Structure 1
């Protein structure tokens, strides 16, 4: 950690916020790779719609990672964007679905979004009192992720308002229920 941080924050506060952001950076790097994996491995009747829906999500999440990394640097930290950092920071399992139908991937992706959004909300709570600028950035990013999840869920909802994979607790279970 550098000997400086942003005005209005102590070095300790800057380090605290940077640590929270490092977790978000690793989550976003993992998410954009997972989204590309889905993009490359989705098959079936809804292939093109899902294939094309995923790329804008990838680009925006890559942008989130860049914003978070630059904020870490502004706080005096050193952002870690390596595969090892993703693995080290990971509190989740690697994405578990390979080549599969659009419905199967979307059901699994819904669970991925639940995890990323839940962790994003926890990060917002952690930084809110210390750094409202970072809080605002994370709120915007989490809001965009919630919209992406809504796009995904729109493909998975039945006419009764239930998700076709609602009893799936793992990506593989959700994918299986959606097939």
Structure 2
């Protein structure tokens, strides 16, 4: 990605400098969403066990919504005068997280790992909402809508990981592998 993120023009009411700040945040969001889409499909293809069909079918609507979110982010980025860098090479080069670490595994193990993926994504998105909220309410609104959807998807995942007593089986996990193992030990 070019080092310059300041566009030559932007939407009315924003300076090109402010648009550049928004573009930088949105590009990171685009990478996050593209990565999540691929991760969800990876889980969809590699989930096994007695909960296979429930998890397999639960993930497709999430994949579709995450793809739509990425499209919305890319289009907002372009409207602000930026370039939406959506190639795999740029994503891998610029991401600040490691690749998803669970291969073919039991559905509950994947859900344990996905819980951590969603936690990281939601935490980063909350920080982005705070940053863009100081600059542009339209971009803030876009990200808040996505935050609600991603939190709902995590709730769907966590419903499989919660004990009858209300404890999350992955509550103390710090890695995807650890979360997968803790989820399997419930």
Task: Tell me the CA shift for residue 2 of structure 1.
Answer: 3.8
1:96 aligns with 2:105: no
Alignment size in residue pairs:
179
Secondary structure in structure 1 of the residue aligned to 2:34: helix
1:52 aligns with 2:57: yes
Task: Tell me the CA shift for residue 177 of structure 1.
Answer: 1.1
For residues 151 and 7 of structure 1, what CA distance do their matches in structure 2 show? 39
For residues 22 and 169 of structure 1, what CA distance do their matches in structure 2 show? 26
Which residue among 7, 11, 17 is the counterpart of 1:12?
A: 17
TM-score of the aligned structures, taking structure 2 as reference length = 0.94
1:116 aligns with 2:121: yes
The corresponding residue for 1:39 is 44
Instruction: State the Cα deviation string for residues 60-99 of structure 1 (Å, max 9, x = none).
Output: 0000000000001000000000112211221111100000
The corresponding residue for 1:175 is 180
For residues 164 and 15 of structure 1, what CA distance do their matches in structure 2 show? 41
1:65 aligns with 2:66: no
Task: Tell me the CA shift for residue 165 of structure 1.
Answer: 1.8
For residues 85 and 17 of structure 1, what CA distance do their matches in structure 2 show? 18
Task: Tell me the CA shift for residue 56 of structure 1.
Answer: 0.3
Secondary structure in structure 2 of the residue aligned to 1:160: coil
Alpha-carbon RMSD: 0.8
For residues 166 and 10 of structure 1, what CA distance do their matches in structure 2 show? 43
For residues 159 and 30 of structure 2, what CA distance do their matches in structure 1 show? 27
The corresponding residue for 2:79 is 74
Gaps of 5+ in 2: 1-5
1:105 aligns with 2:105: no
For residues 151 and 128 of structure 1, what CA distance do their matches in structure 2 show? 28
Instruction: Return structure 1 stretches of 4+ with deviation > 6 angstroms.
Output: none
Gaps of 5+ in 1: none
Instruction: State the Cα deviation string for residues 97-135 of structure 1 (Å, max 9, x = none).
Output: 000001000000000000000000010011001110000
TM-score of the aligned structures, taking structure 1 as reference length = 0.98
